[in-house]
Structure 1
Amino acid sequence: MAKKKISRRKFLVRGGLGTVGVVAVGTYLFRNPIRRKILEQVDGGESPYLGAGMEPMLWFEITSNNKVILHSPKVEMGQGTFTGLAQMAADELEIHMEQISVIHAASLTGNMDNFATGGSNSISGLWLPLRELAATMREMLKLQASKKLGWVNEDMKVEGGVISVGDKKMTFAEIANGVMDWEIPETPNLKEFKDYRFIGKPLPRVDLEAKVFGDPIFGMDAEMPDMLYGAVVRPDKIGAVFKSADISKAESMPGVIKIIQEDDFVGVVATSFTAAEKAKEAIEVNWEVGQSWQTNDIREMTKVGKGDAFVLQKEGSELGEEDGIISREYTSPIGAHAQLEPNGVLAFVEDSKATLKISTQVVALTRKEVAKRLDINEDDVNVIPTFLGGGFGRRLHTPHAVQAAVMSKAVGKPVKYFFSRKEEFQHDLFRPPTHHQLKAKLDNSGNIEYLQHDFSSGDVAIDSAMLPGFISTVVGTDVGAIRGGFCHYGSIPNLRTVSWHVDLPFATSWWRSLGLLANTFAWESFMDELAIKAGKNPIDFRLAHIQDDDKGKRLKAVIIAAAKKANYQDKVFNGRAMGFAASTDAGTPCAQVAEVSIENDEIKVHKVTCAMDPGIAVNPDQVRAQCEGAIIMGMSASLFEKMEVINGELTPTIYGPYQMAQLKHAPKEIDVVLLQGIERPGAVGEPPLGPIGAAIANAVFRLTNKRCANLPLSLT
């Protein structure tokens, strides 16, 4: 085997009790960059793993008790990623599941994914790289065993972190002990799927115990010796520009250590969170406020035709003004992330070095922004990710990390700064409102002859910290807003989809599934309406308009599976009705049936049947849980959630007035059917969120004979 000598200087050697050796395997193993682009982006979909360059990175750590610690470049925000990664690594390492633990990789390890954690690609993006790294590490250990003991590689067996030849045995820890120079072999062949012991099995979560016993694993739990507390002055009005501030009263308040005035923010550092908040409120700020925006102003701005148009799909002829045109408009409102844990960070800047403990989806970006603001080298900024108390795209932006670092530098001590709940609501990066116009014409056989969908949205991905505005000039439109905007019914001779992009006066950005929820709500509600107009069963109608290529076959399969599992009926029964919808997101097709009734003039969802084809389910329980969570989140957004703009302020600013689904609203049953149409894992986290809004609305139509065309759904 070809071998590569790695010098001691190229390893990041970790200290700490019980560590006897570190095995570092990096992206330089991948001779061909294409191998790291596991899944191509399709329809604004899944992104490949984008590791932090060609330098060695720390992935695995062997401890003295013969256990392995995986330093994950993906953060755990409740989706079960750590468990799936542990299963993948354990299978190729030939260790038992109880021998592996997973922690977040701090930025100093260099093990960072430049794409961040998002896009439903944590498992799928690491499917090939992580298994190759684990398999290579196994072979590295065998090479060291042969050097230490003279064993022949071909005679070695590996089981449970023990390498043996006949009756002779040596643990991974014993092999790694004292080794400073490692020989890196060519990446070995990976196991066949049938030989895996853990991949594909519904194993318990590796982070379960920490969460059950309330271990301090979240950002809000972070502590450092002698830490202080920070607060930042923020405006209530949209578009308010800071002019000046009178800090005289705040400076003399109890507990205040220092008031920091920067060009772009005013911060307070105090001995407690309460003292910092009270001092912040005492600062008299002069804001320059422009237009007093109202919800109706935002709705008018978002209407189709008001922004910049980009044609996504164009087949055949355009739809004219002839007779027989069926049309409908749909809308969705401003949506908040409303995650349980507000954004925050603990930062300590000392001697031109910065350490941050933070709930973030963007470790690399956070490090870059802090280093730039402090004018220090990125290698001198250590971002230590924590578990996330809800992410959903909210933690893809971390300017608060910069503010906390600036405050820490000013006082020379650690500063912990978290948003208040009001700040979290008012200064969220919202899901943008949307407006949709759909038009169609059926032929004499009841098939779609013409179909056109124009949809308008504010920023989703463009102008965010991850994708600056110039990206839109390259790709032509917002790659986030068009998620779910492509029509997946390919057997339509005349098709046109157009994305309209508008600039809104407040910040909007990534929200779980991006444009998928709103776009699928419009598409699938309209498809249901067309099926009824054609006098056809909505399942058969959809199947007739799907092409018979690989993507189409997978979509057909989930549609058939969902309808069969739910025993779909197109008529009202026992005061209930079923609604159907389907979508394909990030290459993963998903279909859902919602069983609904009207009780006390409210929409009640009794059961949801979901069929999804995520390819290989590394942990089927994890995948089903993702489906359940996405469905509940989609229900909440479809039935309750919306932000308003009143006199220039975004409101509500607290739970309760911002209505969300409660336990009493959850369906008593969510039945998930998993198919495997591809020989690799696909996207899981976001695709199940797409169909639920339309499925509910389509059921409501059968109960009321009224088409609900606006989210959140309302019977009035």
Structure 2
Amino acid sequence: MATNKNSNKGVSRRKFLVKGGLGTLGVLAVGTYIFRNPIRRGILGKVNSLEMPYTDNTDKPMIWFEITSDNFIRLHSPKMEMGQGTFTGIAQMAADELSIAMHRIKVVHAASSTGNVDSFATGGSTSISGLWQPLRELSAMLRTMLLKEASHKLNLDIDQLIVEDGTIIGKGKQLTFAQVADGVDEWVVPDSPVLKDIKDYKYVGKPVPRIDLEDKVFGDPIFGMDAQMPNMLYGAVVRSSKIGSVFVSADSTTAEKMPGVVKIIHEADFVAVVANSMIEAENAKNAIEVIWESYDNLNTKDIVEIMTVGNGSSTIIQKKGKALKEKDNSLTMEFRTPIGAHAQIEPNGVVAFVKDGKAIIKISTQVVGLTRKEVAQRLDLDVEQVIVEPTFLGGGFGRRLHTPHAVQAALMSKAVGRPVKYFFSRKEEFQHDMFRPPTHHVISGNLNEEGLLNVLEHEFVSGDVGNDSALIPGFLPPIIGADIGAIRGGFIQYTGIPNFRSVYWHVDLPFATSWWRSLGLLANTFAMESFMDEMAIRAQMNAVEFRLRQIADDPIGIRLKNVINAVTDKAKYSENIVEGRAMGLAASIDANTPCAQIAEVSIVNHEIVVHKVTVAMDPGLAVNPDQIRAQCEGCVIMGISAVLYEQMFVENGELAPTIYGPYKMALMKNAPKEIDVVLLQGKDTPGAVGEPPLGPIGAAIANAVRRLTGERLTQLPLKLPKYI
């Protein structure tokens, strides 16, 4: 299709506001460094509820859309499809604005060479919500451009034309989109496209089947591990099993003589093998003698001592009224969560080819723009000389927000002049993950004469989540004072309480931690919602009433109350134990999306069994309700796995386990027999979906166990004491 040569399109007011808003945030962040806590708390509160807009190119439809000769639309998505259903949702939005049938929309990952590059990432539950406005505008732009060109070709006024399923019709004449686009060398891009009324949409709001289902069912080669290039070799990088190891030197004399070895690559920070096969590369890698500098032999107990409230640096992220005093009749509880691995099915890997001053990278990644930038910087290339071709992801969950293996593969390829495929082994994937950090929480509160909370205080410690990651520059954390990932779920949502305070403590850990689906939400909500239930018991009040009476009647508070009421009604919540089963309630707000869950639990052979989970969530406008329900179901099962089974240990300076099985995860037999999802619409635009349902599940299960056993479990994974 013809390219757009019009670069004089004006900036809409919407785009100005987006850019202006982000600019203001930057100014306020600098101001925070000066004025410290009051402004800092205000900014952190705004960031905590921010629905991240899409801020990259939204004024050139031709880098987003391609019209094929058989009259299909190929949509180049800057957001990655990693199982969350993004491709289907954005196809629905585009199809409605373009007036084209869903089956004519083919969504593909945008290679960086298209120019449609997301400089942020696929993450933060922002793919659908962030693209809601700009993608509809882009689609409306393209529809208007096609109508104008058809008007010229058919010699009819635009108001005499209509669009039906990719065909423009008027006065007995018609042209397909492909016929309209044929031969056009230059397009005039409209500045202010007119969007359709949502009530006239055919697909948005409907449970449209997944458009990527067939390829996955039939096992087509669409994932990173499937990627191939002609004349390809295989790479392996020597990695230390010890935490915090720094590469010093390597002796590769033996490895160089081994079968299949093409070259040993020595870089300042790593040594690698390139060989004719993967097994030959692995064998040679194991024969290289490497000297490392590393930490002492740390163990899990050392990490627990480090990760304790009071260690590290603190920031008050939320504050209202007075603090607790020692003489107050208060309850204090402590909670802990462990190191968590991503444990996605597909390990990280890449195929790279560097030749003649250009690099081609085929990779499963959530950060196309950052991957391209890192490769370009290390190879001293312009970013335009690096082409990143993203694939489908065999699980992401934040693990693929970190892609230094792309740089390593590119250096290997450059050294041998041929394409190189390099993938982590399963052991390497476990030991060199960017882990969910362990946490520790100290929560205190007391009740007033009405049996409601008078003062509530939450202090929690975490390692890095966003800090020092590829997505967040190093200067930002010291300015804002808190890790914006670790504090997710750490804010007190019961703002009707007269006095409350939330304090975040940051501690440096000796191993890498970063984004894990829902960030701090799972841990923080487990602690806070468990404590809320304990206080409700102390007040001798129903857990639902106890919560509802302490939620403010502001817009987000009303939405939170609505999901609590909805889940209570749907599950027929009761605090009675019936036939050995009990119900537990929990609720959270994440990225401005409230979610409440009720878990129905029993104890069988000394094991916690989750029979049913009821979910009520308010994601705003549901572009694809089935897709959202699937996300809720996935979060519930992933959450059950995390809160009942998953845990990494540190043993003699090494992270373990290093394989599925010893790293316990929920199996099919551990999934609840029923997950019932209720969707509410508390606002007119789509909101975050992919992570909010992970918040309540841990506390919901723990609260049910508390009613069954009388024991408050305060540590993940939840394990029953032997005496029960």
1:326-405 pair list within 5 angstroms? 326-405=331-410
RMSD: 1.6
Q: 1:251–1:258: 8 Å Cα contact kept in structure 2?
A: yes
Q: Equivalent residue for 1:680?
A: 685
Which stretch shifts more, 48-57 or 337-346?
48-57
Equivalent residue for 1:159, pick from 151, 156, 164: 164
Out of 55, 80, 91, the position equivalent to 1:75 is 80
Residue 665 (structure 1) aligns with: 670
Q: Is the 8 A contact 2:3 2:186 kept in 1?
A: no
Kindly report which structure 2 residues correspond to 1:76-95, keeping only aligned pairs within 5 A, or say none. Answer: 76-95=81-100
Contact residue 66 and residue 74 of structure 2 kept, 8 A: yes
Q: Secondary structure in 1 aligned to 2:189?
A: strand
Aligned CA distance change for structure 1 residues 302 and 27 (closer, same or farther; 3 Å):
farther
Given that 1:607 and 1:669 are in contact with CA atoms closer than 8 Å, whether structure 2 keeps it comes out as yes
SS at structure 2 position matched to 1:183: coil
Cα separation, 2, equivalents of 1:149 and 1:612: 49
The answer to whether structure 1 residue 580 and structure 2 residue 585 are counterparts is yes
Q: Is the 8 A contact 1:27 1:55 kept in 2?
A: no
Q: CA deviation at 1:287?
A: 1.6
What is the correspondence of 1:168-179 to structure 2 with a 5 Å cutoff? 168-179=173-184
Identity %: 64
- Superimposed CA distance per residue, residues 357-409 of structure 1 (whole angstroms, 9 cap, x where no aligned partner): 00000000000000000001100000000000000000000000000000000
Residues 61 and 139, structure 2, Cα contact 8 Å, conserved in 1: no
The 2-side partners of 1:608 and 1:22 are apart by: 51
Between the aligned partners of 1:273 and 1:603, the Cα distance in structure 2 is 42
CA distance in 1, matches of 2:133, 2:642: 35
Q: Deviations over 1:637-679 (max 9, x none)?
A: 0000000001100000000000000000000000000000000
Residues matched between the structures, number: 697
Deviations 1:147-191 (A, max 9, x none): 222210111100100101121111100000010111112222211
* Aligned counterpart, 1:31: 12
Would the aligned equivalents of 1:592 and 1:692 in 2 still touch at CA under 8 Å? yes
Native 8 Å contact 1:331 1:710 kept in 2: yes
Q: Give the partner amino acid of 1:371.
A: A
Q: Check the 8 A contact 1:24/1:58 in 2, yes or no.
A: no
Give the drift of 1:87: 0.2
Residue range with higher mean Cα deviation, 45-54 or 528-537: 45-54
Q: Which residue of 2 aligns with 1:6?
A: none
Q: 1:2-41 to 2 correspondence within 5 Å?
A: 21=2, 30-32=11-13, 33-34=15-16, 36=18
- Greater shift, 580-589 or 320-329, is seen at 320-329
Q: Corresponding residue for 1:438?
A: 443
Give distance in 1, aligned partners of 2:356 and 2:148.
42
1:291 pairs with 2:272: no
Name 2:561's counterpart in structure 1.
556
Secondary structure of 1:417 counterpart: strand
CA distance in 1, matches of 2:143, 2:710: 63
Counterpart amino acid of 1:290?
A: Y
Q: Does 1:428 align with 2:409?
A: no
Deviation at 1:288, TM superposition (A): 2.1
Q: Which amino acid aligns with 2:401?
A: L
Is 1:110 aligned to 2:115, yes or no? yes
Give the Å deviation of 1:293. 0.8
Alpha-carbon separation, structure 2, partners of 1:25 and 1:307:
53
1:487 match: 492
> Does residue 482 of structure 2 align to residue 501 of structure 1?
no
For the residues of structure 2 that align with 1:27 and 1:426, how far apart are their CA atoms? 51
Task: Output the TM-score relative to the length of structure 1.
Answer: 0.95
Contact 2:61-2:138 within 8 A present in 1 as well: no
CA deviation after TM superposition for structure 1 residue 468, in Å: 2.8
Deviates more, 1:41-50 or 1:22-31: 22-31
Q: 1:666 to 1:246 in 2, by over 3 A?
A: same
CA distance in 1, matches of 2:352, 2:475: 31
* Partner AA of 1:669 in structure 2: E
Task: Give the CA deviation at 1:290.
Answer: 2.6
Shift of 1:37: 7.0
Distance in 2 (CA, whole Å) between partners of 1:308 and 1:643 is 25
Secondary structure of the corresponding residue to residue 318 of structure 2: strand
Contact 1:26 1:56 in 2 (8 A): no
Q: Distance in 1 between matches of 2:505 and 2:8?
A: 39
Query: Of 236, 255, 258, which aligns to 2:260?
Result: 255
- After TM superposition, give the deviation of residue 310 of structure 1 in Å: 0.3
What does residue 657 of structure 2 align with?
652
Distance in 2 of aligned mates of 1:243 and 1:443: 61
- Does the CA-based 8 Å contact 1:244-1:286 persist in structure 2? yes
Larger deviation, residues 576-585 vs 161-170:
161-170
Distance 2:57 2:138 in 1: 15
Q: Distance in 2 between matches of 1:26 and 1:125?
A: 24
Match of 2:106 in 1: 101
Is the CA contact (8 Å cut-off) linking 2:167 and 2:177 kept in structure 1? yes
User: How far apart are 1:555 and its partner, in Å?
Assistant: 0.3
Which digits, 9 at most, give the CA deviation of each residue in 1:48-68, with x for residues without a partner? 112158777610000111110
**2:137 is paired with a residue of what secondary structure?**
helix
> Residues 413-448 of structure 1: CA distance to partner in whole angstroms, max 9, x if unpaired?
000000000000000000000000000010111010
Could you tell me which runs of 5 or more consecutive residues in structure 1 were left unpaired when the two chains were aligned.
1-19
1:610-625 → structure 2 map (5 Å cutoff): 610-625=615-630
* Structure 2 counterpart of 1:268, from 273, 276, 285: 273
Is the CA contact 2:6–2:187 (under 8 Å) kept in the aligned structure 1?
no
User: Per the alignment, do residues 329 and 39 of structure 1 end up closer, same or farther by CA in structure 2, a change over 3 Å counting?
Assistant: farther
Deviations 1:685-710 (A, max 9, x none): 00000000000000000010000000
| Structure 2 stretches lacking a partner, 5+ long | 23-45
Answer yes or no: is the 8 Å Cα contact 1:245–1:286 preserved in 2.
yes
1:417 aligns with 2:422: yes
Aligned to 1:596: 601
